[in-house]
Chain A
């Protein structure tokens, strides 16, 4: 059946369940049991959990709903509509590191690769030992939530028919680098290998929040307010009682602001992401020495290798193969990624005719990447124009990991048959053609300005801790400053993970929402 004739999960939603701020003309003032801010991995999961528990739920999303039927293969169109600041956000520090964040229904789950990793054991141990979370965030506590999400969102390893050559090359040749390459486990059903995860799945195969928990919640009575930017969480008498938002527009320059006031009888769930959550809390009057501090990330670095045979990145799972063999020893994880030419161009050496000619060799390119479990910590502040300023500089040990991983990827690409590799490291030749040349990467300077880094997977900045002295959010997921204001996104993580965080975020959000839904506080407020 063609997409034109398919019915997608985000089609035919209940009438009145979606209030679009872009077309909103009159002010809104409504009351719900819970208001959930954000519709990404955390917000979507929290909303679905609360709806299933029988509560009335409003979801507030700053961005638009990019329906499956509207998914546009053109990268600029996707960036313009689905990404914050049209994909031009950066981390500012010793170097400028691009940062990509979804700003749409589903949040980054619309535009990520849906990779599933349960929180690693050593992270639970660290959180227990160093941060005192052992009584709440344990493997045993999260297990049923992980299991439920995996079942609901059809988690499984990439199947043969969607693997694609980029991923196959990695899996089949990893042993030559002395490690095990495995197929990724992802939230998907019926992946056709369209290699378009980064601009939105055109088949609704990827189980992002936009085609799963959000439409499921709406069909059970929830409402979503899209293109609605939260100004403040309303706190009265030390308790969160609602949200004040304004309608917004995909293009903020055309925004016509209409007030949206949503009262919350039982509480507000804040799941606006690591970067936006701290600034919403600030705007709402929450004060804490750790608010906006301890921001962490998994900076990444990609490297193309050119093969004699066609790799055809336009077919196969966008990200389908990985290894965590170096996660504990060297603090990095290797992955594959298939990039559309519009995105790959940035990693192609040169300008002019050489650049254009190399663009035409992309059908022969495989791109493998590293994500670093960086030790660096940054900060988040509001800046003018209602924007967020993120300061972040890579630590020296992070650059040691980046360089080691870059050399490892280059070596593996050659071992796998690549005839040339494009390191993308200033000071190293733009093109290297033999295993001997990998030495040049190993000798590269450790200055982050020399590397083509990109940031993803964001953590901290409103971390969880037993006492207000050590963190912003308590062990009951409520802020120390205001009761009934629950923070459930990765801003509460005291550290980064070294694996893709979506599953950990969803697991924690489900755990939090389940506990809050059953708590005497929520019931008493009824």
Chain B
């Protein structure tokens, strides 16, 4: 199976935008690190291969303003944290996979409660989207994924 790269989320056309273009790029880098594809386990599509921006916008409209503001701040803080964790003047989007893993791993395992809660909050919130995807649902229910549903979910795949 080959996977066609998804469109840049910042340019995806849909309804009202919940964040700025750069924030979508950062969200993609951070959330893609938390929920990547794992082809060796049968999950060929990571969260960035799904309509992440659409979900983000839906989330922003569903959550109370303060809760959404908190999540948005977490995404921004994590995106800007590499300087303090890997010592590089770059955002999450500017790092390679290994450094991104290191940043998320360090924050997620921090001994400072509110710091590690940032990753936990993102994990809990975006798992509702990622783990609801057809591939993972199929694995958990012991059936073959329905490819038509992948398309319906907006995933860009080619057999």
Contacts and interface: CB of A to CB of B under 8 A. Distances in A.
A251 interface: yes
A250 to B, nearest CB: 8
Contacts of A314: 140-141
A360 B108 contact: no
Contacts, number: 115
A228 B130 CA distance: 33
A74 B137 CA distance: 10
A360 B128 contact: no
30 contacts: A80-B62, A86-B62, A88-B125, A253-B65, A310-B142, A314-B141, A341-B132, A341-B136, A342-B132, A345-B127, A345-B131, A352-B33, A352-B34, A352-B101, A353-B38, A355-B34, A355-B123, A356-B35, A356-B36, A356-B38, A356-B43, A359-B131, A359-B140, A360-B38, A360-B41, A360-B43, A362-B139, A363-B139, A385-B64, A385-B66
A236 interface: no
Interface in B86-128: 101, 104-105, 108, 111, 113, 116-117, 119-120, 123-125, 127-128
Given A76-B128, A345-B131, A359-B136, A351 B33 contact: yes
Contact of A352 (B36, B61, B62, B141): B36
Interface in A324-356: 340-346, 350-353, 355-356
B40 interface: yes
The 6 closest A-B pairs by CB, nearest first: A345-B127, A356-B38, A341-B131, A76-B128, A449-B113, A342-B131
A314 B64 CA distance: 31
B5 interface: no
A232 to B, nearest CB: 22
Contact of A86 (B35, B37, B63, B140): B63
Given A95-B113, A356-B38, A74 B123 contact: no
Given A314-B140, A351-B105, A351-B119, 15 more contacts: A76-B58, A79-B128, A85-B64, A88-B64, A98-B124, A254-B61, A312-B142, A342-B132, A343-B128, A345-B130, A351-B123, A352-B105, A356-B35, A385-B66, A387-B66
Contacts of A357: 38, 40-41
Contacts of A449: 113
Interface string A58-93: 000000000000000011100110000110100000
Main SS at interface, chain B: helix
A419 interface: no
B41 A363 contact: no
B65 A385 contact: yes
Contacts of A85: 63-64, 67
A206 B130 CA distance: 28
Interface string B142-153: 100000000000
Interface in A250-264: 251-254
B42 interface: yes
Interface string B50-66: 00000100110111111
B74 interface: no
Given A351-B105, A353-B36, A357-B40, A88 B119 contact: no
Interface residues of B, number: 46
Nearest to B126: A345
A342 B127 contact: yes
A314 B113 CA distance: 33
Contacts of A363: 139-142
Residue with the highest number of chain B CB atoms closer than 10 Å, among A312, A341, A426: A341
A95 B139 CA distance: 34
Nearest to A387: B64
A144 B128 CA distance: 43
